[in-house]
Each structure stands twice: as structure tokens, then as C-alpha cells.
Structure 1
Amino acid sequence: MSVNEQAAPGRVGDVRRRNLSLVLDSIAKTGDSKPSRAQLAAGTGLTKAAVSSLVADLVYSGLVSEVGLYRDGERGRPGQGLELNTRRGVVGMEINVDYLAVGLVDLGGALRFTSAIESHNRGLAPDAVMARLSALAAEAAAAASKEGIDILGGGLAVPGLVDERHNLVISAPNLHWEQEFLDPGALLEGAPLGVRLSNEANSAALGELWYGGGGQADFLYVSGEVGVGGGVIIGSELFMGPGGSAGELGHVVVHPDGPPCSCGGAGCLETFAGQEAIFQAARIPEGSLSERMAGLVAALESKEPGACKAVHDAGRYLGVALASSARLMDLEAVVLGGHFAELGDWLKPAVLEGLNRHAPGLLQSDDLRVSGLKHSGTLLGAAGQVIRSVIESPFELILAGKLAT
């Protein structure tokens, strides 16, 4: 039976549903190796006949493509390699305080196109911000069309607590948004899987998990932007807590008598290690984000005392917050992203200093890693959540006619 026909009743349908996902996930996990049907059968424990039938459905649906010919051994016909179809893609999108960004990610996880603009979004109405982002999304759609890539859907990440089911931004203090409804689907009209709303730091953590290459199943991802966010990965799964706000590292108190924070509290890590806090402490002149970051890096490279102290202090306070987190959560590793990754060479020694002073022995130098994805992690994670939903439930999507053929 083909999955584009009526679903099989009861157990048979359930087995096929699971097996389609199993085969698709196995192809996804092999990366560049492009397994043959015989290799998939050996790896999954399914019969060769079953794998051939499942692969036929996945190829027909446009989720998998056949590439090349090679021999598994000296005898028999050459096998065809299989990969997630790079002619299918998802658009990752991000709203942050001072920029907007989009990226086109194919099903294999390659970032095929990216575009970003500086945009002062703090205090702007959501409709105005979404209108600006819509122009970038149109650029991604045009790039996909040029490369012959069908867009299945999108992911939108924002720096705040969100209710994904209702497309609601519950609270984004740095944007000054509270209880704001968005219409993410309008960014990619006609995309069969729609657009999924998520938290920026959580998306970046998932991007690191799936595309960062670290190979760790348990870690805390620290996102450095205007605010400071965190995403907790446990057993290769995102842990959000019952209210969806787990990982809010930026609002851990690191100085009881510190300055007020946008969250309404005081002395939060964000007030010492957020992007604007570092710029001000280093006395970097006003200007565009890229100009200010370039100025900070130049000052650090020339060992300007004020800049070095600003980054050192930010790293030390980050170390304090991580020390508390490590004791509370028994962390195995920490990954620094965003501007923390850009400043990694200067920041990491100070973070380790704070960790060693307040939590000696809990995290070693090798347990503190700088992300190689930098700012693209959020886009990859936002898109990757949609890609993973396809991998986990191809049967339902194909039956519903939501996948291009």
C-alpha cells in the first residue's frame, strides 16, 4: 500500500507510521554518507523489502532523493544513495531587539541563503516589525525559487516567552511586548506547514544540538544578544519546564544591589553581560550594531584597558550565573553563542575564573565551548524544529497532502 492512499486501519497503519519515521530519521542522521536501502535495512532491523517500500513512498512524497550509484560489496547490483531532499526547505526567521534575520535551510540542514538587517525594534508595534520581516521573508522565498527549492514552512524565533499554540508572545521585555498576538503564517503565504513560533534562545539551543557538531546530549546554551537567554538540552531534548520559561539565565541575580533590569527585577546577569551593558562599560560610541561590535573587537585586539575590563567583568558575572546553574542542574557542558561567541577569545578566561571561584571542579575548560554557529544558530534551530516535525510525522503529512510531490 502507498501512503498516498487510504491509511491502513489499526496496527498495520501504526507500524507503517513508525517505520516511515524510523527510515527518514535514519537517513537524516547519516549526514553526508548517503546510505543505500541495504544499509538502512541493516541499521534499522527492517527487511530489505520493507525498506524499499518505505523509501519509495518517501521519494514519491519529495522528502528523500536518490543520489549516485555505488557498490556495498563486490557482488550484486550497485546501490543508490539516499539523502533528505535538498530541493525542499524551511525558512528560519528571527526578530531581535536590534536586528531582523532570515535563513533558508534545506531538509539536509544546509543554510542555503541568509539575510539580515539592523532594525530598532524595541517599543515598535508587532505589526510594524512583522511588516519589515515580511520583506526579508520575501527575499528568502525568491532565493528558494531561484534554486528550485520548494518551501514547506517556516520557524519564527523571538526573544521572549511564547505560547506557540496560540501564536502569542506572552512577554518580551526587551521588545516591550506583553500579550501580543502575531500572525507568523502571513510571512510565508501558502507554505503547507505554516510558520511555527518559538523562543530565540531555545531555538538557538536546538540549532546547536542538531547542527553545531558538538555531539553533546546535555548542555546549557547561553545566548548573548541585547538580552541574555538560555536553552537547556537534556538527553538531546529541549527542557522548557512546566511554564515554558526554563533557561532564563539572563535573569539570574548575580549582584543583589545591581541596577534595575527590563524584567522588573534588579541585579540580573543581563544588566552586566548583555550587549548594551558591555558596550556602555567599554565606552563604545553609539552607532550601528555591526560598527559597535567591530569597535569593541578592535579595542580588545589593541588591549584597550576599558574594553578589556568591560568584557572581563561580563565574563566574570556570567561565570557566577553558570556556577549557580551548574550546582542546581548538574550541568555537563555550556555552549556560548551570539555575541558571547564573537567575544569568546576574551570572554572565556573570565567565565572560567568565575566558575572556578564559585563552583570549583564542576566544569572544566573543555566543558565550556564557544559555538561555531554564532548568530546563525537561531535561524537553524527555528527552521530545524519544522524539519524535525516532518521527520517525526511524515505519514500524517503525506496523507494530508501537505507535502509537494
Structure 2
Amino acid sequence: MAAVNGTPSSGDWPNRYFHVDQILDKPGPRTDPAFSAGPVVKDFLRNQCKILVIGAGGLGCEILANLALTGFKDIHVIDMDTIDISNLNRQFLFRPRDVGKPKANVAAEFVMKRVPGVKVTPYFGKIQDKGEDYYMQFQLVICGLDSVEARRWINATLFQMVDDDNPESTKPLIDGGTEGFRGQARVIIPNMTSCYECSLDMLNKPTAFPICTIANTPRLPEHCIEWASVLEWPRVHGDKKMDTDDPEHIGWLYEVALNRAKNFKIEGVTWSLTQGVVKNIIPAIASTNAIIAASCCNEAFKFATSSAAFLNNYFMMIGTDGVYSYTFEHQRRDDCPVCGGEELAVEIGKEWTVERLIEMLVERQNIQIKKPSLSSANGTKHIYFQAPPQLEAATRPNLEKKVFDLVGDAGDILVTSHSLPFSLNLRVSYV
């Protein structure tokens, strides 16, 4: 590889990137005007560009390998999960001996051993553990997540980081997602394109149950399982974190949910259903992961080198009947709480109870706030809080009260949730 001053970078050998260099040595018909062919762009890609991969599962393994082989040499990866035996059929960086180990650590070690000269820095933990200073160091962020909640968090965090006086504070987010034979890749540029929050109404309706139903009148086996995980676990175990990958924790939830189901004469609580409810299991297929990961890494390469125009801004693939793909520009939502301002206007009836308002926040496609807590806009009055258990019990009677009686004509309500890194100001009007 011809690097700056004609000297190969550390760990490289002549012609290592021969095929990639065909793109970087000279401009093409679709090259960005900012493209500077030759040693400079190669040096940035291989020696200066720092990229973050969030998730080291099915998508993440493919993304890490693609980036390393494309020429990215300073890669960081975050994942909070450990390797399960069920991962081995599609997460090809892992082996049976790795079961139980952190995904991020094993994936980083494997890539560095297989691709000389590449440095992969792992972090075993949550993305929420890191602050803005951590994310500010990267030129690009790629998500290979299976969690809507985590995607919403990183999306909002990157938007909040933007400083109009500092162009480097704008961090492009490349998001990939798969579900069976379907997948999507998209490019999100803060304050330029639509954000992840803008497209919530495109997602499948999330499975969520009102707290009063699971606490008082369960009708489905899922209600009993949700009760065990949401209410009983914190009551019995306090601050101890539930590990949905721990068979003992799943076993405890199963037994507790089964006993509750028997008390209410509900059938259908099984081990597999318990695991499916608490982990929100989505099927994954290796070939879909490979295609979507390739699309994400292609966009990362284009961003790092300006060798071609990046995706504008949403690519989807459906492989259920043949292979169909479609690219379109997803528009920004004017009422998006992330990129359109943090105030959201809603219309409700004067007879609406707090419980009904919460159900609307959970079920409405363009809001989807998981387990929202409500207070007055100035934060002085607790309307309903999901946690801690003592505060939930104290505010539970408000669920049956009318919203109008609690907040009046002003109608400003502060909505918080552990799934969002911001507080949403809800401007309620009555019809």
C-alpha cells in the first residue's frame, strides 16, 4: 500500500489494498467534489479515522470484519452481552470455547488476530455508560443493534452533541437492522436528515401492557410474565439487575409467572414464552446480516473517503419472496421530539384518565415511550411514576383520575423514561 511519503503503514505489505486502491487512486464519475485521490485519503482512512461499532452480535461481527478488511484500522466496539451457544450459527467470530465470555472482547481479539495491523478496542457494557466526550472522539458511528431502545438513545445523544460552531461535533450515524429475511440500512446526519425517532411509525407495534392490567387484572400469560419481571423482580431483589441471559433469572421469572397464572386460572406460561417476552427475541438469519452489514460498511467507506455520494437516506431489503430492495429519502417529522424540538402536542378528551394517556404514549406509533413516568411540567407534582416501587405504589391511584383534574387547562406534562436520554414536554390540549 502506498501511504504518506510512499511508506507502507505499520503492519501493511505491498499491494495489500490493491483492489481498494483502485477506488482511492483516482476520481470516478460519482466521486464527491471533496474527494482528494491518492496518499492523503488513504492515510486518513487507515491511520486517522476512528470508528465506533455498537453491537457485536449477528450484524456487529460482519461489520467488524468488513471494516477491518476494507482498511479501517482504529475500530472501537461496544456490546453489553455475553456469548450464548445459540449465537454460534451466525456470529462467526465466536467459537464454542467462547460461550459465556463478553462478545465485544472476543470479537476484538479475533479480528486483531486475523487481520494484522488493525486495532480493535472493546468495551463490555452499555452505551449509556459512556458520556458525550467518549462519542466525540469518533468520526463515524455504526449501529448493529437489536434494540429499538438503544437505537433511540444513541440517536438522541448524537443529536444533542451537535454544536453549530463546531462542525466536528456532527457525527454521522449509520444504522443497520435485520428481522428474518428483511433488513434495512440507513444514514442519519444530525440536523441534515431525518433521525431514527422520525421513523418510529415504520416499526412493528411494540408489545406493551398497561401497568394496572398486569398488576390487578391479568388476562394473558404474557401479563403474568410481565408482572414477574416488572413488578415482582424489583420488589424481591431490590436494585439487583436482571440478566435475561442467565438461566437462573429466567427460571425464577418462569416459576413466579406460572404461580400467578395458576391463581388467575390462566394457561400458557412456558419457559420459552418467558424467555421470549423478557428478551423480545427476533429471528436472525446469517445471509441477511451479511447483506445489511455490507451496505452499512459501504456507507462508512464512502463517508471516510468521499469516494462516492452517501446513501440518501434509507435502504430496505426484503428477501421473503425473491430479493427486493428499495431506496428512498425518509423525510423529517416536524413534531419529532429529537430533531424537531422536545415539545410534542397531543389532543385528548377531558374525560381521559391518566391510565388512558399512558396507554396512548406506549401504543402511538410516532411516540412509543416505554414505561413513561409523568409529572407536572415544572416537576413539582408527581402524576404517575413507574419506579421505584414505593413511588409507583404511591402514585398508582392517580391512574384512575382524569388528566384534566390533575393538570388543568395548562396541560403541560413532563414525560420521562429510562429508554430516552431526554425529557419530553407534552403539550396537552382537550377536545
TM (normalized to structure 2)? 0.25
Q: Which one has the bigger strand percentage?
A: 1
Larger Rg: 2
